[in-house]
A and B are shown apart, each in its own frame.
Chain A
Amino acid sequence: MSTIASHKKRSGLMDWLTTVDHKKIGIMYLLGGLFFFLIGGIEALFMRLQLIKPENDMFVGETFNQLLTMHGTTMIFFAAMPILIGFMNCIVPLQIGARDVAFPFLNALGFWMFLFGGIMLNCGWFLGGAADAGWTAYAPLSTTSAGHGVDFYILGLQISGAGTLMGGINFLVTIINMRAPGMTFMRMPLFTWTSFVASLLILFAFPPLTIGLFQLMFERVFDANFFNADNGGNAIIWEHIFWIFGHPEVYILILPVFGIISEVVSTFAKKRLFGYSSMVFATVLIGFLAFMVWVHHMFTVGLGAVPNSIFAVATMAIAVPTGIKIFNWLFTMWGGKMKFTVANVWALSFIPTFVMGGVTGVMLAIPAADYQYHDSYFVVAHFHYVIVGGVVLGVFSGLYYWYPKIFNRKLNEKLGFLNFWLFFIGFHLTFFPQHFLGLLGMPRRVFTYLTGQHWDTMNFISTIGALMMGLGVIVLAVNMLISISSKYKVTSGDPWDGRTLEWAIPTPTPEYNFAQTPLVRGLDPLWVEKSAGNKEMTPAEPVGDIHMPNGSILPLIMSIGFFIAGFGFIYHHWLVAGVGIGIGLICMLLRSVIDDHGFHIHKEEVEADLRGVKA
């Protein structure tokens, strides 16, 4: 076994398949997430087309249930989460002045497991029907669902969930251990803070999901009876397990977006974030309360007035830290000199839209009133206001904001505005009427409705809005495609006059991020240096050799192994399952016995790079 640091340069495809560089993994997360976002969007459009008029017969019964299940599952687990983890990968190490994440190998493994989990979930479409029991997979509908759709859901989520858990742990360790000198916790940018808390939520929320999915799997594959009332099981246990995971999950999605909004609003208002400490406090408090409120998804289950009331009050309490955040953003705007770039317009449009989703959330927290809202279109409107009006608007803001840092290109601003207006107007057209559809008695997850109940016009408007959102996303895709042209190349590492460390790095970002680890002298470190008249960060160390990790193909092979094992479990081919697990175990063994000390980028190369930047 070699103990000498050595390095093999790979290029092209092989480089991407073996990379452990957080920037490349981040890009793959982003592109993978956007790909699944398109699939989930097409599923949504199919549903809206079915509901455009009463008693339509385009996608009925089982097919519609598959669409709604796959739309929810895809958007939450395979679009929103990977896109946000993509941003975390690309940005968090740069914001804290690190050269990579703490566990680069694990990082790559997390990505490949997400990707193969997503592919596995979607295999259902081609192998006899996708999952059809809702993204919540309530038993006994999920345990008795015919075909293998739900099995693909279980195994797909199990594989990708393990990847997400690894990602969460990785970011916790990275943020705790790898901050540059001077980057204290209370100087961390808000995006890093929210990523940190979201990672903490991943750490505590995903294990319950893993357990629950194993129970579901045992029930479907090995005839266990956890949720089967006929044999002494209890279907409500699944609801608890799912929502103990599921509620923190929505905060895992929204917290990093709060971070993005904080960065973007502050940068383009040219002001430091108003009430930074209270922002951090609110983030941590929201993260804590996230685990205290899961029963508000289950108010109608019949748990009784006492538990319902306790969880109702806990739920309402979340409005307080969230309100603090909203007002802090408003007062970051107040007194600023705002530039309306596309990134900022997305972020500013987030604020009122998210507030609208937030207030319906407080309304839903009152159990007796929730008995009317629950599982109606009112709820559909509410969670799309917080997930599309919150997460997606924020993600688009982050995409336009960090695009130059991640891809060394700027997105076209004119197309950006077209993208924004189509999507933003389409969004409100789609989801605003749905509040009223719910109040007028329309249940959610229905494939059709009868005429004469005042539901027809609003459903029609909703579908038109959805088509507009679709157009908006096409414009975004076009914008990203044309940005490949060298016309859109950026030369400056700091195109927005930024405040945080990622903008202190030249473009394109060197493999080692920081030639010299920077010395952080305050909140918004780059802004601090700019205010002091410095053009760049003060280094905390002399130029020296930089230690880097080697790439590895093992994460990919390991994920393929688990993917194969998944098929074995779904089709009850134990040999195939064994082979798949075996591949994974062998990869783990190889990883353990092969000493890989990485390699060094030598001082001379770094110095040459530095001269290149200055020339």
Chain B
Amino acid sequence: MGFYEVMKKWLQKGRLVPLFAMMAFMLMGCGDPTISTLNPQGQVAKDQYSLMVLSIAIMTLVLVVVFLIYIIALFRFRAKKGDDSIPKQVEGNHLAEITWTVIPIILLIILAVPGVYGTFKASAGDKAPKNQIDLKVTAHQFWWEFEYPKEGVVTSQELVLPKNTKVHVELSSQDVLHSFWIPSLAGKTDTNPGDGTKTYTWLETGKTERVYKGKCAELCGASHALMDFKVKVVSESEYKDWLTNMKSATAKSTADTAAGQKVFKQNCMSCHAVGKDGGNTAPNLTGFGDKERIAGILDHNKENLKKWIHDPQKVKPGNNMPKFGGKLSDEDIDAVADYLMSLKLK
């Protein structure tokens, strides 16, 4: 039985159909919806997912054909014991060779057309269409700065966005290369240092209110693995409230936290800001009490905050924050932790 007959038999019996069905089923909605590319929630990630599915389907077809020929050859053409005859020395076969040149070209065209279309669709110029949110992302070792230039709001580590909205993103870096990635919402774009190499992308927030996980995807130093951020997708009104609160937030304190605020002013504000006051070389801490994580990675509680202030290098090696254990007394650290945890927007 020649090769063509074997292939024909397999195709006629429809043995390939269940394989495709199984594959589509396996990939559907795979993984955690807050971080899986196989469970996309925003339009950009959905477009990318459909390209992935198309390519996986075509490539599975290729794999099945190759594996079939391979397995049949492997079992049918073994040397039998005692058979020392020489097999026919075949030079080649023009028809076969043209077939496996042309069919791959056709498959690649089927893949390339939507691929190129999708690539143009996913790209964003440096101008945002009207009524969309403009966002400036600046990456630092090892944290993220988010600026809403039209609204005049700066925050860090946790991005707040309304649902069902397109966001135009401008990216850059303060130090080394990083890459901005929210697997469930959009593929990644690198952040490059310098004004001449700014990058642009866009994303769409989807219809669910949820906290998505974001990652740095380019090796950026010792704590690259810990350079996480969050994207909080909220309702339109919640987003409006958040913006108003962010704009009006000041470094206020109560009687309980006044001592902590004093320590903060003396030791932290040259780098960190609360509201409009303070430096901008470290994460802006406005609304710190409402955050999801400490330093992007630890559970949000006072014990972890004290641990962080004590020795940031132990949590995120290589980051730029100095160690305050030994520099500040335990009481001062405790007080400043209380103060920071009290910084809530409402």
Contact = CB atoms under 8 A, between A and B. Distances in A.
Real complex partners, A and B?
Answer: yes
Interface of A: 60-62, 64-65, 68, 132-134, 138, 140-141, 144, 229-230, 233-236, 269-272, 274-278, 300-302, 304-305, 308-309, 312-313, 316-317, 319-320, 323-324, 326-328, 330-331, 333-340, 348, 351-352, 355-356, 359-360, 362-363, 365-372, 374-376, 436, 439-441, 443-450, 452-454
Contact of B31 (A309, A339, A440): A440
A301 B219 contact: no
B67 A327 contact: no
B79 A374 contact: no
B88 interface: yes
Contacts of A359: 59, 62-63
Interface stretch (B117-125, B131-139, B157-165): B117-125
B325 interface: no
Contacts of B192: 229, 235-236, 301-302
B273 interface: no
Interface residues on B, range: 35 or more
Contacts of A326: 66
B194 interface: yes
Contact of B30 (A234, A333, A360, A439): A439
30 contacts: A61-B318, A62-B318, A65-B221, A141-B221, A229-B192, A229-B194, A270-B79, A271-B90, A275-B93, A301-B192, A302-B171, A323-B100, A327-B69, A327-B100, A330-B66, A333-B70, A333-B74, A336-B87, A337-B78, A362-B55, A366-B112, A366-B118, A367-B115, A368-B118, A368-B187, A369-B48, A445-B219, A450-B297, A452-B32, A453-B32
Interface string B55-99: 110010011001101100110011110010111111111001100
B278 interface: no
B265 interface: no
Contact of B97 (A230, A278, A334, A375): A278
B197 A229 contact: yes
A229 B35 contact: no
A270 B193 contact: no
B70 A351 contact: yes
Given A320-B101, A369-B51, A272 B89 contact: yes
Nearest to A362: B59
B3 A366 contact: no
Given A369-B118, A445-B219, A454-B31, A324 B100 contact: yes
A-B CB proximity, top 3 nearest? A371-B187, A229-B194, A302-B199
Interface stretch (B9-17, B103-111, B249-257): B103-111
A452 B171 CA distance: 29
A65 B198 CA distance: 27
Residue in A270, A326, A348, A371 with the greatest tally of chain B CB atoms within 10 Å = A371
B122 A371 contact: yes
Tell me the interface secondary structure of chain B in the complex. Answer: mixed
Given A270-B87, A352-B66, A368 B217 contact: no
B222 interface: yes
A151 B100 CA distance: 48
B31 A439 contact: yes
B216 interface: yes
Interface string B286-299: 00000000000100
Nearest to A138: B177
B222 A61 contact: yes
A339 B79 contact: yes
Contact of B120 (A305, A323, A440): A305
Tell me the interface secondary structure of chain A in the complex. Answer: helix
Contacts of B32: 440-441, 452-454
Interface stretch (B147-155, B178-186, B303-311, B328-336): B178-186
Contacts of A335: 77, 87-88, 90
Contacts of A452: 32
Contacts of B86: 270
B317 A60 contact: yes
B37 interface: yes
B166 interface: no
Residue in B78, B97, B225, B226 with the greatest tally of chain A CB atoms within 10 Å = B225
Contacts of B80: 337
B220 A440 contact: no
B66 A368 contact: no
Nearest to B61: A359
Nearest to A304: B123
B21 interface: no
Contacts of A305: 119-120, 122-123
Given A141-B177, A366-B119, A448 B225 contact: yes
Nearest to A361: B59
A61 B89 CA distance: 58
B215 interface: yes
A12 B81 CA distance: 45
Given A316-B111, A454-B32, 12 more contacts: A141-B176, A274-B93, A309-B115, A324-B101, A333-B77, A334-B69, A336-B87, A356-B63, A366-B51, A366-B111, A445-B225, A448-B225
B280 interface: no
B77 A338 contact: yes
A312 B112 contact: yes
A274 B3 CA distance: 15
Given A300-B187, A369-B52, A441-B35, A144 B108 contact: no
B225 A446 contact: yes
B190 A271 contact: no
B342 interface: no
Contact of B79 (A304, A337, A444, A447): A337
A272 B179 CA distance: 50
B188 A440 contact: no
A354 to B, nearest CB: 10
Nearest to B121: A368
B89 to A, nearest CB: 5
B35 A324 contact: no
Contact of A441 (B97, B183, B196, B222): B183
Contacts of A371: 48, 122, 186-189
